Amino acid sequence: MKKYKLGYTQGVYDMFHIGHLNLINKAKEYCEQLVVGVNADKLVEEYKHKTPIIPESERSEIIKNLKAVDDCIVVSTLDKLKVHDAVPFDAIFIGDDWKNDERWKKTSIDLKKIGVDVVFLPYTSGISSTQLLAVKDKKVDD
């Protein structure tokens, strides 16, 4: 039996890469069901001040088709308590590169109050959508 009944993770998943896959697959090892939230285009524009390369409809379609994913939702908030109202997860999974982030420290405290565990999973170093974009831009310029 897995440790958690319903797990949740959330991200942009723009230019889907092995780091995204590793995190989702690892999260699924801990829970019977895994719901993945895909950040809406408008949300990404608000907090990252850039438009995703791949639109939310296509990013969510990619996520929905992963073997480890039981459900996928498009999310318009970074507030995990609001997400929890819609998806009553008992654990949330995030890369350990966020472990010392102030927002995640607060989120961990807030979620603990309602009995939700925050599980930091190993970050896949050497890959990110930002790095992929930089390589793409460099190749286009060459």
Domain that holds residue 110: 4-141
Specify the pLDDT at position 19. 93
| First-last CA distance in the chain | 52
Q: pLDDT over 70 for what percent of the chain? A: 88
Nearby residues of 20 by Cβ (< 8 Å), 6 or more positions away? 11, 13
Query: Which pLDDT score is estimated for 125?
Result: 72
The reported pTM is 0.89
Q: Which pLDDT value is given to residue 52?
A: 95
pLDDT score for 1: 82
Give 117-128 pLDDT, tens digit per residue. Answer: 999 999 887 666
pLDDT attached to residue 92: 98
Q: How far apart are CA 18 and CA 34, in angstroms?
A: 18
Q: Which of 53, 64, 56 is nearest to 24 (CA)?
A: 64
How many distinct structural domains can be found in the chain? 1
Q: Which residues of the chain have pLDDT under 50?
A: 140
Calpha distance 3→128 (Å, rounded): 29
CATH number of the domain encompassing residue 108 = 3.40.50.620
Alpha-carbon Rg for the chain in angstroms? 15
Is residue 89 within 8 A of residue 7, CB to CB? The reply is yes
Residue-level pLDDT at 132: 58
- Give the whole-angstrom CA distance, residue 128 versus residue 142: 21
CB contact at 8 A, 69 and 63: yes
| Rounded Cα–Cα distance for residues 86 and 30 (Å) | 21
